[in-house]
Amino acid sequence: MLTIVGIKNCSTIKKTLTWLDENEQEYTFRDVKKEPLDESEIADLVKKVGLETLVNKRGMKWRTLELNKREVSDEELLELVFEHQTMIKRPVVLSGEAAMVGFDEEALESFIEYNEG
């Protein structure tokens, strides 16, 4: 079964969940505001998709922290992501050991077919 990680009021999450419902896909939803990822879960995501893919550099939190105005090491960025999980690009879609980030209908369909069989 899929696990969708994100924030409930995010428009991209809403689109993703609607698509999953319309395509009769079973999933669980994890709102990181209510149930944050722990450090090992974030580290695992970074290993699977990469830090650059995981972090939303166009989001509100990135701008409010003014991270676009300075150099940030990967270690510092990892700490910031753990502290401010709204910086995670949405959705994160998990299936077993596989992960994908972002909403694209064709990519999601392929991801599900490959990982859910």
User: What single string gives the DSSP state of each residue in 27-83?
Assistant: EEEEETTTSPPPHHHHHHHHHHH-HHHHB-TTSHHHHHTTGGGS---HHHHHHHHHH
Catalytic residue among 3, 7, 10, 95: 10
Active site residue 6: no
Report the distance separating Cα 53 and Cα 30, nearest Å: 19
Q: How far apart are CA 24 and CA 4, in angstroms?
A: 15
Cβ partners under 8 Å of residue 56, min gap 6:
62, 87, 88, 89, 90
Catalytically active residues, by annotation: 10
